[in-house]
A and B are shown apart, each in its own frame.
Chain A
Amino acid sequence: MPLIAQPVHPGAGAVLARLHAIHSEQGYLPETDLRAAADELAVPLSQLYSAAAFYPAFSFQPRGRHTIQVCLGTACYIRDSDRLLEKIETSLGVKQGETTEDGMFTIETVHCLGACSMSPVIRVDEDTYGRLRVDRVTRILKKYRPGEPGEKGPEEQGI
């Protein structure tokens, strides 16, 4: 019996970029968008779904308005970034991987943000904060609540 398969699909090379595009636009990967993408790229839905489920960058659930990424890379871990995670979890009342009830914050851990000389480091959306001590965490989180005075942006340096 001849093989009837076409395992390499022409649109396959665009899968990763498409997942990024949907995620950037929607903040997560809705089922309808994935199904539409599979049709458009002429790639099996299972391939798209498997890729989406494989990579940590993608979420099937909507995230909070702000994503807090706590770096648990080696340099940050050695300089006790786990304490920062504890502080953030205690302040917000949710654990890593979860979103606050008011939908404001999602806490994630990352294995390295690549700012190792500034350890310990966290990132909130596009803003990276380094050389952190636990007490600065509260001030940083305040900046992302609506109605708080002052602009968002990285803190000045200082221990």
Chain B
Amino acid sequence: MVTLTINKTSVSVPEGTFLLKAVEEAGFTLPTLCHHEALAPYGACRLCMVVIIEPHRALVAACTYPVEEGLVVETDAPEAVQARRLALEFLMSRCPGSDVIGEMAKKEGVTASRFAMPPSEKADELCVLCGLCVRVCRDVIGAAAIGFIDRGTERKVGTPFELQSDACIGCGACAEVCPTGAIRMEDRGNERILHTWNTRIALCACPECGRFFTPQPTRFLKEMLPEIEAFWDVCPECRQHKTSRQWLNTTP
């Protein structure tokens, strides 16, 4: 175990823990965008900035800094507060229509952005380039259907050639992890449409009721996850009825 001090509070965490977790354990919060429990830390958004006081003064991103014995950290030292505010100001000017960013900014004391950027072609820009969608698709789901395209301020997320990706299984994990709701997904009729990725995935039809439910390409998971094999047989509602009937039949 490693013991360190955060905002004058002592906390002990296992070796190999990142500073962000230690900050949370100590009872403090930091804004984050590119952080997710299920994914390796990425360090892109630069919102979780903290100042290390001992052993050497340094401004670091908490999510990617490994804890050290005896570290003394302040989350609200002036450089850290200013760094968070500037990052949020720029993100606000990138995504002026995002309530999520607006709320985060307000919490840090930022109500407006001084940086008027040239009007974006996509006035409804919500993507903050946190990379969660790319990382979850690649590292957790294993489909790697989307990736980063281009560099610098031209950087964006998309499918190869901006066409429907053959690798997409329609699981929707990308939409689930997106912190700003930038990924638009809807189930319409017999299809799941991921508008943001120009992708349409066929849904399975329920043999019992005819409703459309899980995306067909996810079928491959049946073999890998035998304990939930039955999830592909009928839709969730019919499965629930089935299970309830089984319970009713067997309960004395």
Contact = CB atoms under 8 A, between A and B. Distances in A.
Interface string B129-143: 000000000111111
B149 interface: yes
Given A50-B149, A53-B149, A53-B150, A44 B144 contact: yes
B141 A45 contact: no
B138 A5 contact: yes
Contacts of B159: 46
Contacts of B148: 50, 53-54
Interface string B15-27: 0000000000000
A5 B139 contact: yes
A34 B144 CA distance: 16
B160 interface: yes
Interface residues of B, number: 23
Nearest to B159: A46
B237 interface: no
A1 B225 contact: yes
A45 B146 CA distance: 9
Interface in B143-158: 143-151
Interface stretch (B47-55, B91-99, B161-169): B161-169
Contacts of B141: 4-5
The 6 nearest A-B residue pairs measured at CB: A44-B144, A5-B142, A50-B147, A49-B160, A46-B147, A53-B149
Given A44-B138, A46-B145, A50-B147, 18 more contacts: A1-B225, A3-B140, A4-B141, A5-B140, A7-B138, A7-B139, A44-B143, A44-B144, A44-B145, A44-B147, A44-B167, A45-B160, A45-B166, A46-B138, A48-B160, A50-B149, A53-B150, A54-B150
